Structure 1
Amino acid sequence: MKTILDIKGLEVAYGKVEALRGLDLTVGENEIVALLGNNGAGKSTTVSTISGVVRSRAGTVTAYGEDITAATPWSVVERGIVHVPEGRRIFSRLTVHENLQLGGYTVRDSSSIDKRIEQVYDLFPRMAERRNQQGGTLSGGEQQMLAIGRAMVAGPRLVMLDEPSMGLAPLVVAHVMDAIMSINRAGTSVLLIEQNARAALKIAHRGYVIDSGRVTVTGPATELRADPQVVEAYLGA
């Protein structure tokens, strides 16, 4: 399998607090990789560093064979890597359709934007029903669908989803996870950051567990689901 994202020895600190301590991680082409861990483990810092929002003090981030360790956030998006942040961060006063249009701000071909928006509406029919509704009036689950849909309008080769299940009812979580699998089947690689290890490992090909900025366990998702350490810490006995 071709590696499209390769992180080696990544170190990040906020002042004297070390958030990442020599993190190694890879994502393969057409793969869903789950990044699991408790609050404060370094999951969000990892994706924020990949996307150029946070700067590392050591280590490298390579995407599609190119070193993007020092790349700006907008140039990372232009390279086909899109970050859906924790908390959705949609534009609450803009309509669903306007939010989706903004997802294509790096896309120069307007017809491609229109086509991708229609694909989002096919993936999330509820968004089509609410296309003229302000984003701030949507439910939490609908806002998560909108945030994912907005990312897909950029046409990413790799999409990084930070806690997409947070605060959602179990049925909505299942719907979001189904959508992530559909996105992956259509050819987009996924780095899935989750505290909900059970949901993430059901759809992931591989997974990493991090604790205090270090990888503690890694392997195929099927093996992680049976790993006593993972079961005890994240899945329940």
Structure 2
Amino acid sequence: MLDIDGLDVHYGGVHALRGLSLTVSEGEIVALLGNNGAGKTTTLAAVSGLVRPSGGRVVFDGREVTREKPHRITARGLVHVPEGRRIFSTLTVHENLQVGGYLLREQAETRRRIDRVYELLPRLAERRGQQGGTLSGGEQQMLAIGRALVTGPRLLLLDEPSMGLAPLVVASIMELIAGINAEGTSVLLVEQNATAALRIAHRGYVVENGACVLDGPAAELREDPRVVEAYLGGLRRDGGR
């Protein structure tokens, strides 16, 4: 479904991505792990057209999208939920969800998709008339994901959905992502919380200095000593220390 081949990105004199390659197959959750500054967010931005690569290719569903405009990439079903949620704080929950349907021609289809989001996330339904900026952090993250679902993603790019959230809320967000995937949406998940990400992912990649240095099934990465030491807090296999 998604093939990234030899991707390079420069920010001025900074070489942010260095020949990065990865794939996401249909139906997968793929976790992208790494420390701050490793290139994870840049990867998502390059895939969704927010950043112009200086080399390499991005192919989605058999078509190269490396230099397509973001709205065209989104219309193809590749939808990006950026770090920091970025909801419209002065709009209501319902109005935020309506924004997710801006590419749809039929208002009836937008309403149908919003109703489905309310079924999936009843807490948003309860707050449909509430301004986005008054929601809790977890509710804002749910709203950001819900807005993306209204757009109709085939592949969802999620950037740090658990950032700043309490552990119980993180568990709810990860359960939501797993549920979305079970209904047929593939996911490329950037996440600092490697433990949570690898619990729901099928496969994962570790990024260092703009390149993928390790990849494999999530179950194997959870047991890999390099991943355990660097990203899982030195946890033993039994979950202790």
* TM-score normalised by length of structure 1: 0.98
1:93 to 75, 90, 93: 90
In the alignment, what sits opposite 1:35? 32
Task: Tell me whether 1:149 sits opposite 2:146 in the alignment.
Answer: yes
2:172 to 167, 171, 175: 175
CA distance in 2, matches of 1:216, 1:80: 28
1:77-102, Cα deviation, whole Å (9 max, x unpaired): 01000000000000000000000000
CA RMSD in angstroms, aligned pairs only: 0.5
CA distance in 2, matches of 1:120, 1:38: 32
In the alignment, what sits opposite 1:61? 58
Per the TM alignment, residue 120 of structure 1 is displaced from its structure 2 partner at its CA by 0.8
1:227 to 215, 224, 227: 224
SS at match of 1:45: helix
Task: Tell me whether 1:108 sits opposite 2:109 in the alignment.
Answer: no
SS at match of 1:150: helix
Residues 179-194 of structure 1: matches in 2 within 5 Å? 179-194=176-191
2:125 to 123, 128, 131: 128
Task: Tell me whether 1:206 sits opposite 2:216 in the alignment.
Answer: no
1:34-93, Cα deviation, whole Å (9 max, x unpaired): 001111000000000000000000000000000000000000001000000000000000
CA distance in 1, matches of 2:143, 2:202: 25
More divergent stretch after superposition (149-158 vs 109-118): 109-118
1:77 to 58, 74, 77: 74
SS at match of 1:148: helix
Once superposed, which parts of structure 1, at least 4 consecutive aligned residues long, lie more than 2 Å away? none
1:165-188, Cα deviation, whole Å (9 max, x unpaired): 000000000000000011001100
What amino acid is the match of 1:160?
L
SS at match of 1:105: coil
What amino acid is the match of 1:167?
G
1:182-231, Cα deviation, whole Å (9 max, x unpaired): 10011000000001000000000000000110111100000000000000
SS at match of 2:174: helix
What amino acid is the match of 2:175?
D
What amino acid is the match of 2:124?
M
In the alignment, what sits opposite 2:114? 117
Per the TM alignment, residue 119 of structure 1 is displaced from its structure 2 partner at its CA by 1.1
| Identity of matched residues, % | 67
SS at match of 2:207: strand
Per the TM alignment, residue 111 of structure 1 is displaced from its structure 2 partner at its CA by 1.3
